[in-house]
Amino acid sequence: MPKNNENMMSVKGLTKVFKSGVFKPQYTVAVKDVSFDIKPGTILSLIGESGSGKTTIGKLILKLLKPTAGQIYYKNKDVAQINDKKEVKEYYKKVQGIFQDPFATFNPLYRVDRIFEIIFSSFGYDQTNKEERIHKVLNDVNLNPGRILGKFPHQLSGGQLQRLLIARALLMDVDVLIADELISMLDASTRIGVLNLLVDLCKENGMSVLFITHDLNLGYYISDYTLIMYKGRLVEKGDTKKVYQNPIHPYTKMLFNSVPDIGRRWDKEEEFLPEQVVDDVRKFYATNQGRGIEEIEEEHSVLFSLK
């Protein structure tokens, strides 16, 4: 249920270069010239393999890292300009992240209730009906408040902790949720529950989600839009169905080709070498020289060459 057609978040030409070493610095380009928009109430999945830069993008949006170049706009406001303490807090009220390991997110010495208390004590949310509202969001994420509140993190399962963090985002009424490998530590039978919940809440509350994952099947299942990352660049992006049904970039093709899918077996005759894709991509860029990013159909664009 989009509130309006305006972008909730807009990323333009985002680049991040890491420098390591003092005397002979080495530069690693983690993210290069990435642009995309997040519309209200939509789920955007950011898919890539390890080292492709997907987590770096999440961190840049959450202001945990500073971009080397490019801009991130939140409701048309340049996020880099948000610097004073009060404004940063306001930003974090609306843009939140949930990460892979729930056990690392919670402080093991405190009861889980603390994640809600912090919202009120340090973010200055309205305290009226505090208890009631906490209970409501817990019920929304299918957790029984009586059995959850007052417990320590080690007494709960990974799925329950992730649900708690989603409940917290709900209580804060966030606009954008960065979910970085949110369900990859959960079992198959529990992760679907968390995912369904996330989509339901997103559609009901107009919350936008950037779903960072390496799992293509899950990405397809929940997202409206798909971004494919390879070596720091967005190589293909667009409407999820269009990207999956008609992949153009050799990397996207290779990725879809290697997904294990129940009911469809890998081609045994085909010689499959993951390293092969490096050559394939180079040839692809060479034959399409000068084309850059092109829209091949409505809501589906491909990186044809590096300019």
List of residues contacting another protein (CB under 8 A): 49-50, 157, 159-160, 187-193, 195-196, 199, 214, 216-218, 220-222, 240-241, 244, 254-263, 265-266, 272-275, 277
Map tokens 């609306």 to a residue: 94
**Tokens 């992730």 found at:** 162
Identify which of 230, 192, 224 has the alpha carbon closest to the alpha carbon of residue 211. 224
Shortest CB 54 distance to another protein, Å: 12
Nearer to another protein, 91 or 244 (CB): 244
Looking at the DSSP bridge assignments, the partners of residue 212 are 46, 180
**CB contact set of 164 (below 8 Å; sequence gap of 6+):** 102, 112, 115, 138, 141, 143, 148, 156
CB of 196 to another protein, least distance (A): 6
Chain-centroid distance of CA 175 in Å reads 13
Q: Provide the edge-to-edge strand list for the sheet that holds 69-74.
A: 26-38, 9-20, 69-74, 77-78
Closest to another protein by CB, 129 vs 257, is: 257
Identity of the residue, 99 or 230, whose beta carbon is nearer to another protein in the bound complex: 230
To another protein, the closest distance from the beta carbon of 219 in angstroms equals 9
Radius of gyration over alpha carbons of the chain, in Å? 20
Smaller CB distance to another protein: residue 121 or 196?
196
216 residue type, one letter = L
Token reading at 155: 């007494």
Report in angstroms how near the CB of residue 306 gets to another protein at its nearest.
21
Q: 3-state DSSP call for residue 136?
A: helix
Nearer to another protein, 107 or 217 (CB): 217
Q: How far is the CB of 113 from another protein (least distance, A)?
A: 21
Classify burial at 100, counting beta carbons within 10 Å of its beta carbon; exposed 0-12, middle 13-18, buried 19 or more.
Answer: middle
Q: Give whole-number Cα distances, 265 to 68, 79, 197, in Å.
A: 43, 46, 31
Nearest residue to 272 via CA among 258, 262, 283, 260? 258
| CA gap 199, 221 in Å, rounded | 10
User: Do 91 and 79 contact (CB within 8 A), yes or no?
Assistant: yes
Nearer to another protein, 107 or 276 (CB): 276
Is the Cβ of residue 118 or residue 259 nearer to another protein in the bound state?
259
Please identify, using beta-carbon distances, which residue of 275 and 298 lies nearer to another protein.
275
What minimum distance in Å lies between the beta carbon of 274 and another protein?
A: 4
**Minimum CB distance to another protein, residue 259 (Å):** 6
- Which residues fall within 8 angstroms of residue 197, CB to CB, at 6 or more apart? 141, 142, 163, 166
Minimum CB separation of residue 240 from another protein in Å reads 7
